[in-house]
Amino acid sequence: MPSPLQGLKVIELARILAGPWAGQTLADLGAEVIKVEAAQGDDTRAWGPPFITKGDEETASYFHSCNRGKSSVTIDLRDPDDQDRLRDLIKDADIMIENFKVGGLAKYGFDYDSLKQVYPRLLYCSITGFGQTGPYAHRAGYDYIIQGMSGFMSITGDPDGMPQRAGVAITDIFTGVYATTAILAALRMRDTTGQGQHIDMSLFDSAVSVMANQALNYLSTGTPPVRTGNYHPNLTPYQVFECADGHIIIATGNDAQYRRLCSVLNLDDMAEDPKYLRNSDRIANREDMTERLTERTKTFAKDALLSACEDQGIPAGPINDMAEVFADPQVIARGMKVELDGVPYVRSPFVFSDAELTLNRGAPKLGEDN
């Protein structure tokens, strides 16, 4: 079967994660993605251990995680001959992704205003920390710092502990996903107008955008939400619970599920107690309710309580490490792990009825396609 973006050509002048994530997503969807690197390569090639050996090259696993399916060419933007090589690559490209600092490519003639004069159909996606405008536009963007600035860390972690970052660079990942969405929207618009355009993506914008209900909790009340640990700010019980042999997540989404949980835990009196009858009641009495529920969950083994919850239609799940994730029968059944060129990868999460992903090449060696 064909791939959805088969026939599209992408030039990626991006490094680290957000831009490469967008490029990898487009490659999985069938686009030809040419990664343009400096002679020393993308910084993440050295971000190890762990490292993966491919032929005579040792490259960090980090690089492999976001550069699958691309070719690699090395270009020195200061060299006039290499500038000509890059123009030759761009001349029939549909999309260009870059993450230089604002104005960083203008001195070489590869900024959007310069290229649109020659290639009016080119879609040019810039990914920066803070966007092309505003008082922070000149600043470099770092995922960790953006997590703090966006409010994410203010709502993540134990109430009595330090603010916490996420375990992966979620700001970069979200920006890469949003950039892909914007590129596809601009492609559709080009079908109508015949013209390319400049897409201005910001890590900060993306991070603020995904604050979702927490942002609206503040905007609708004027009260900033705070760290709640493993509690949900708007639902309860919806959190981690201790069992006899570890921890699981129980996530009741309505009053009926709460009552069924009480039945599973042999706490029928709590099911009809006015203090816990509705979600708003349970929020008001969360501490006492959680203490009583936990007293009972601690008497169950994890698997036994998960099985009982599933039987009664109560949302619950385990807390897996990576080994458990990739041994999970659902992950195996969905084919999330793929092997390309002898290297394990995690595929993009798209499944089409009449198309397939292009998964025929791992991450490239530096300059493999010069």
CB 89 within 8 A of CB 11: yes
Contact criterion met (CB below 8 Å) for 128 and 199: no
Backbone angles phi, psi at 281, to 5 degrees: -65, -40
Active site members: 172
3-state secondary structure of 127: strand
d(CA 25, CA 28): 5
Within 8 A by CB and 6+ apart from 56, the residues are none
Q: Which amino acid, 167?
A: G
Cis peptide before 50 (omega within 30 of 0): yes
Distances from the Cα of 168 to the Cα of 141, 143, 154, angstroms = 16, 9, 17
Residue with tokens 């639902």: 235
Q: CA-CA-CA-CA torsion for 44, 45, 50, 55, nearest 10 degrees?
A: 160
| Token couple for 103 | 């104005």
Radius of gyration of the chain (CA): 25
Q: How many residues does the chain have?
A: 370
Q: How far apart are CA 177 and CA 183, in angstroms?
A: 10
Is the alpha carbon torsion for 212, 217, 223, 228 positive or negative? negative
Alpha carbon 338 to its chain centroid, in Å, reads 19
Q: How far are the Cα atoms of 135, 334, 363 from residue 340, in angstroms, in the given order?
A: 44, 17, 9
Q: Do the beta carbons of residue 201 and residue 128 sit within 8 Å? A: yes
Burial class (CB in 10 A: 0-12, 13-18, 19+), 343: middle
Question: Cβ atoms within 10 A of the Cβ of 83, count?
Answer: 16
43 contacts 15 by C-beta, under 8 angstroms: yes
